[in-house]
Amino acid sequence: MYASKLCILLSFCLFSIKLQAQTQPAPIPTGPSAPAELPGNGLAQHDFFYAGEGNKVMSIVKKGKMVWAYTDTSARGEISDAVLLSNGNVLFAHQFGITEITADKKLVWNYNAPAGNEIHTAQPIGNDKVLYIRNGNPAKLFVVDITSGKNLFEMELQTGKALVTHPQFRHVSITAAGTLLVAHMDMGKVCEYDGTGNIIWQVDMPGAWAATRLKNGNTLMSGASVREVNPKGEIVWEFTAADAPDYKMKNMQKATRLENGNTLINRWVAKGDGTGVQAIEVSPDKKAVWALRSWGPEVDLGRSTTIQILDNPKIIPEKEHFGKIQ
């Protein structure tokens, strides 16, 4: 009886410690987490669409000035994924749901995740379909027709811990071939799925946050580092925190290969750290050519989630297909 009570007491203590660790905010660095003088031209380096997780703000910056901004006051969670469509609409996942709004901030579509589930990624297919992952037990991937509300595709996804939903997935991307690259964050790998839901390729990636297929056929992944791997899974380029020690890049979020060959990396910033940069652009030889730090008072972009570069207007995010779904 005594041993049983002791086990219960120890279990409660361990649970309390774990809960406290989960709810305590990340510590603010004691020293600056980026240099005072930054490379590049600040907000004027690129035209871009930006989504920040902490203050739920999305912004469009052109020629160094904020030309559009939207604050999501109704959503409970963080903005994890956001896409500016070619018609000016914005599709964004905000942890407990997905919303699409027009450029003048009118509601087009909204979906709330069931209790116990989270949604951190959503991708458009055309102007009337959305592909998203619902973290949960089980985790599932869906394609929905937003005009009718009908699910056009559904499949379960493997997870590392089915009962711990938050760290399961952050990003999914659609390749030009109509396959999906899914970052299994809690399993430390990236898997490619065909149009029927079968895994046709996979590779290990610690802390897998996001992955995109490059024009050269390689795959660019982010997580504990940023890696480019070839179809055999061999690392052909990698950027680690050690390559930019002055920026203290503890976690690397979404990475984008730009038209100029550089790589743009969203940097996780601790809440309240006004010294940190939200993103860094590095050259193929890993030199920082631009770093973004915009915390106000004129332009406060908030903590980084995703940056969509708008320098190339030919890119149409919704011009993708998944299998036979277009």
**114-162: pLDDT as tens digits:** 999 999 999 999 999 999 999 999 999 999 999 999 999 999 999 999 9
Range 291-303 average pLDDT: 91
For the chain, the average pLDDT equals 89
Distance CA 193, CA 182 (A): 8
User: So what's the pLDDT on residue 250?
Assistant: 79
Range 98-115 average pLDDT: 97
Burial of 156 (0-12, 13-18, 19+ CB in 10 A): exposed
Range 25-48 average pLDDT: 83
Number of H helices, E strands in the chain: 1, 24
pLDDT at 15 over 70: no
Residue 273's pLDDT band, with cuts at 50, 70 and 90, is confident
Range 239-256 average pLDDT: 93
pLDDT at 28 over 80: no
Cβ atoms within 10 Å of 276's Cβ, excluding its own: 24
Residue 269's pLDDT band, with cuts at 50, 70 and 90, is confident
Sheet architecture: strand order including 107-112: 81-84, 90-93, 97-101, 107-112
Contact 266, 253 (CB under 8 A): yes
User: What share of the chain has pLDDT > 90, as a percent?
Assistant: 76
Range 106-120 average pLDDT: 97
Confirm whether pTM is higher than 0.85.
yes
User: So what's the pLDDT on residue 1?
Assistant: 44
Distance CA 201, CA 109 (A): 33
Give SS3 for 33. coil
Taking only the tens place, the pLDDT of each residue in 171-201 is 999 999 999 999 999 999 999 999 999 999 9
pLDDT at 313 over 80: no
Q: Which domains does the chain have, with CATH numbers?
A: 41-309 (2.120.10.30)
Residue 30's pLDDT band, with cuts at 50, 70 and 90, is low
